[in-house]
Amino acid sequence: MSDRVTITHLEDGIADVRMVRTDKMNALDTAQFQALADTIEELHGTKGLRCVVLSGEGRAFCAGLDLTAMSGNSSGDGEKKGGATGDLATRVFGDANLAQYVAWGWRKLEVPVIAAAHGVAFGGGFQILSGADVRFIHPDTRCAIMEMKWGLVPDMAGFPLWRGNARDDVIRELTYTNREFNGREAHAMGFATHVSDTPHEDALALAKIIANKHPAAMRGAKTLCNAMADLSDADLLMLESTEQLKVIRTPNQMEAVMAEMQKRKPVFAE
């Protein structure tokens, strides 16, 4: 457990992940960046993991960049993020730098990630929210692509994540103006999957449904979803076949069929 991010392992392989820097509305400084990256890395190695629910404790999901850390350092854009990013061009997590990884890393987990947002999701916090596969948001959540307000550009994986969510012109307008919008608007524009008065509870309920599906098939489905934006039609057709061959007629796939027919909870072998 961390003083910035906690992981609670629930039944059925669900990890309840919460940002817990409540005194700063879960704002991002060096320690918060590192704690989120460490959390993602820990989840990558967690056996039996089937679904992740990501939320923020206290008054907000994440208020974005910690402005105190930013104002206390003026020697470069990387250091303005609390020293978290260092050389922005250095890829330390595959295709991503550290700041990008705390949003992009959720998309790269093999299992589905469901985010539950309330209060505030500004700047980097909005980009972290965007990294989830499914996003529940309270209707009154305050959202913004905030970076232009501080003379910066969004650089925490927002653009590769948003291109699958919202129209190009909508992304441009919100980026250029740093205009604030609420959870209902986020849903209407495509940034959120569901509007909910109880986002965390609803996220956990969906996680339970997902966690009781064939785990290897679920990983294959996420692989296909991640590939949709980038692969050619021919390559995506081949990937469908490749992922299906990994699961079809396996014992766990047959267990999924039998459990469905017998109207019972499936018991999958890890």
The answer to whether residues 18 and 66 belong to one domain is: yes
**β-sheet bridge partners, residue 117:** 137
Domain count for the chain, please give it.
2
The answer to whether residues 42 and 30 belong to one domain is: yes
Distance of alpha carbon 232 from alpha carbon 131, whole angstroms: 23
Query: Measured between alpha carbons, how far is residue 201 from residues 118, 137, 139, 159, 192 in Å?
Result: 12, 11, 15, 29, 16
69-73, 115-119, 165-169: segment of lowest average pLDDT: 69-73
The answer to whether residues 191 and 222 belong to one domain is: no
The answer as to whether 233 is a domain residue is yes
The answer as to whether 149 is a domain residue is yes
User: Average pLDDT over the chain, rounded to whole?
Assistant: 93
Give the angle subtended at the CA of 204 by the CAs of 194 and 162, to the nearest 5°. Answer: 40
The answer as to whether 269 is a domain residue is no
The answer to whether residues 170 and 243 belong to one domain is: no
Q: Which residues contact 23 (CB under 8 A, 6 or more apart)?
A: 58
Q: What pTM did the predictor assign? A: 0.93
What pLDDT was estimated at residue 75? 38
| Secondary structure E strands in the chain | 5-10, 14-19, 51-56, 113-117, 120-122, 134-137, 142-144, 194-195
What pLDDT was estimated at residue 2? 83
The answer to whether residues 100 and 218 belong to one domain is: no
Distance of alpha carbon 270 from alpha carbon 258, whole angstroms: 17
Q: Which residues contact 47 (CB under 8 A, 6 or more apart)?
A: 270
The answer as to whether 267 is a domain residue is no
* Confidence check: pLDDT of 148 > 50: yes
The answer to whether residues 34 and 131 belong to one domain is: yes
Distance of alpha carbon 186 from alpha carbon 169, whole angstroms: 14
The answer to whether residues 232 and 132 belong to one domain is: no
The answer as to whether 14 is a domain residue is yes
Q: Are 21 and 32 in contact (CB under 8 A)?
A: yes
The answer to whether residues 83 and 195 belong to one domain is: yes
Of 210, 235, 250, the residue at which a domain comes to its end is 210
The answer to whether residues 93 and 164 belong to one domain is: yes
The answer to whether residues 78 and 115 belong to one domain is: yes
What pLDDT was estimated at residue 82? 35
The answer to whether residues 171 and 224 belong to one domain is: no
Q: Supply the range of the domain harboring residue 175.
A: 5-210
pLDDT in tens, 83-142: 454 578 888 899 999 999 999 999 999 999 999 999 999 999 999 999 999 999 999 999
The answer to whether residues 199 and 255 belong to one domain is: no
CATH number, residue 231 = 1.10.12.10
Closest CA to 157 of 95, 113, 205: 95
